[in-house]
Every structure is written in C-alpha cells, then in structure tokens.
Structure 1
C-alpha cells in the first residue's frame, strides 16, 4: 500500500470507534435518526480512508504502469472499482 499508513489507520480507528458507538446506541434503543446520522458519519470516514488509498494508488501504481507503457491492467482495475461503486 502506497498511502500514508498513519492517516489511513487513524481514519479506520475513528470509524471503528463510531461503529462501536452506533452499536451502543442500538443496544440502548436510541432514536432512529440519531443512529442513522452516526452511521452516515462512519460511512463518510470510511469513504475518506478509501479516497486516501485510491489517490495514492493513482499517484504511484497507475503512474508507474503508464510510465512502463503497460497501463491496461491498472486502468481495468479502476474501471472495475468504479463499476462496483456505481451499484
């Protein structure tokens, strides 16, 4: 992985903490909208971690593949990822 590990780990630990909080909210029968808001916050953090990883992938792995004259595999990986994200 080419992304900054400390940044990704911090984001993932934050998401874990939020999910643990959501679990407690569910156990405590908290208000549905409050739970949903916290789930959206956790989702946003996971998306941010994913963006960090994908940006690093494009800066390093994809750039290296283009420079070596063989970008097809990396481009196909990104297209597959975009297809899955659009579902």
Structure 2
C-alpha cells in the first residue's frame, strides 16, 4: 500500500477513534440515546470508508500482481469473502 494512501486511512481511523472516545463520554454522561446513536453511525461511516480504501488498494496492488502472474483466483476469492461479510 502506498504511503499517501496509508496516511489517509490512518487519518480516518484516528478520527473514528476520537469519535468513539466521544461516544463513551456521551454514554458516561447519560446523554440522549438518539444523539449517541447518530455518533455511532458516523463512526460506522468512517470505518466503512477506511475499509473501502483498504480494499481498493488491495485490488490495485495485490490482486493486480496476482492476476499478472496467473494466480488471481485466490485473491478474487478473498475479495468475495470480504464483500460477503460486508453486505450481511
């Protein structure tokens, strides 16, 4: 994975971590459930975006290389397994 892509993913994950800390504080302060739920959804969105970036890079690097070496079937199966979990 390229360093610039890693940096973007790391920034997304750090933002999500900060939001999770905020959610914990909200729960400790017994804030309104709907407000907490909205923040949980926001974190899920960040995690989804980070995961899509990771998968994008995997397909552009590992899968491409495997395909060029006639070894792509295993990599394709990995992606299918992840997508299957993603959409359940």
TM-score by length of 2: 0.92
Between 1 and 2, higher relative CO (CA 8 Å, sep ≥ 6) is seen in 1
- Gaps of at least 5 residues in structure 2 are none
What does residue range 1-87 of structure 1 map to in structure 2 within 5 Å? 2-3=1-2, 4-87=5-88
| Runs of 4+ residues over 4 Å off in structure 1 | none
- TM superposition shift of 1:83: 1.5
Distance (whole Å) between structure 2 residues aligned to residue 76 and residue 38 of structure 1: 34
CA RMSD of aligned residues (A): 1.0
TM-score by length of 1: 0.93
- Gaps of at least 5 residues in structure 1 are none
